[in-house]
Amino acid sequence: MLKNIKLSLIIGGLLILSPLCVSAADIKSGDNVYLPPQETIEGNLYAASNNITIDGEIKGDLIAAAQTIIVNGRLDGDLIAAAQTIIVNGEVNGNVRLAGNSAQINGTVARNLNFIGNALDINKNAKIGWDLMSGANNINIAGLINGNVYGNGNNIILSGAVGKNLEFIGNKNSGISLSSEANIGGDLNYSENIKILKKDGAQISGQTKLIKNKEKAKNKYYFFSIIYKILAAIIIGLIIIFPGKKIINALHDTAQKNPWASLGWGMLILLATPTLSLILIFTIIGIPLAILGFLVWFLVLCLGKIISAIFIGKAVNKILNKKKEKSLLIPLLAGVTIAWLLFSIPFIGWIISLSATCLGLGSLIMYLKTKKRYV
């Protein structure tokens, strides 16, 4: 199992990083990003906006973060996206990896579909060429999945067809509903405490089996959880890089000049903040300050990692590109992906994560000290 996880991690990392290795790339941002039907992007498109609509064609990959993302056109590569609502009406000839509140698939996905969030709808005209792996609370499959379905959530409804096996790991009182049109070409595997509702006409070609070791089955979602963490970090990063570009570049210069001092200050703040907050809890007047202290502490932990990830991305970009990147978007995407894969390494990942947090946080403290000196 460990070998399989490591192999999945390596392959998945290469799949995520592959768009960053292509020289031709477009970067679009603003309140709205729109690619009209007559327009074609020859390479990859990196987009960050409130609303993103793709009616045209992208010869490479689309990596996007927004409130709403709608893909009506054609992608020759992968779709990697995080948004509140994601709708795919067009054709994606690669993999689709999504994180958001809801996703609707009405078009064609040539390879795998991965989703984590609240609700996933694969509608009647949708076709998935390979496998579906979903961590959605509610999964509705009315279309065609040629490969396997791996689900982890509360409920799954199948009124379409699954070419191979369907495996669902649920929680207490979870359910599997098979309509009269449902067709499973392989086995139906399910965990304990799941209620199965099978209507007349539903077909299961293989066996219906109980998964006895639920924890072992959940290991299949290990890599999937890493993708979700990467996408979540990218969303937070997108919030800070556009208004805070100058500050982040200044933090990068500070960390380069004084790496050990940055680590030291970061470690001090990391340890001192929760200690002071705990002391304040024992005083009635200090309880609100203690709660505020813990909230700020948690926030800076997240920001420290993301700031360090951008440092990594800038270093990688300098090695590969040997040009100063004007935008922080590509360093953010590359850095977060590399950093979070490093954080997930067994036994030593937490050390890397702690060091990254301290470096990012410490560079911020030293920058603020320098600015205060001139006030």
Structure confidence at residue 19 (pLDDT): 44
Structure confidence at residue 215 (pLDDT): 52
Q: How far is 247 from 367, CA to CA, in rounded Å?
A: 9
Q: How far is 306 from 300, CA to CA, in rounded Å?
A: 10
Residues 6+ apart with CB under 8 A from 8: 222, 223
Mean predicted confidence (pLDDT) in 215-237: 68
Structure confidence at residue 2 (pLDDT): 38
**Is 60 exceeded by the pLDDT of residue 262?**
yes
Q: Is 162 exposed, middle or buried (0-12, 13-18, 19+ CB in 10 A)?
A: buried
| DSSP label at residue 88 | E
Structure confidence at residue 323 (pLDDT): 62
Structure confidence at residue 6 (pLDDT): 36
Mean predicted confidence (pLDDT) in 180-205: 94
> Which residues does residue 258 pair with via DSSP β-bridges, in sequence order?
none
Q: Locate 276 and state its tokens.
A: 């002071």
Confidence of residue 213 (pLDDT cuts 50, 70, 90): low
Phi, psi at 319, each rounded to 5°: -70, -45
**Is 70 exceeded by the pLDDT of residue 263?**
yes
Mean predicted confidence (pLDDT) in 47-60: 91
**Strand locations in 55-129, DSSP E?**
57-58, 62-71, 74-75, 79-88, 91-92, 96-105, 108-109, 113-122, 127-128
Q: What are the residue boundaries of the structural domains of the chain, listed by start?
A: 2-221, 226-373
Structure confidence at residue 13 (pLDDT): 43
Structure confidence at residue 21 (pLDDT): 43
Report pLDDT digits (tens) over 32-44: 899 999 999 999 8
pTM score of the predicted model: 0.67
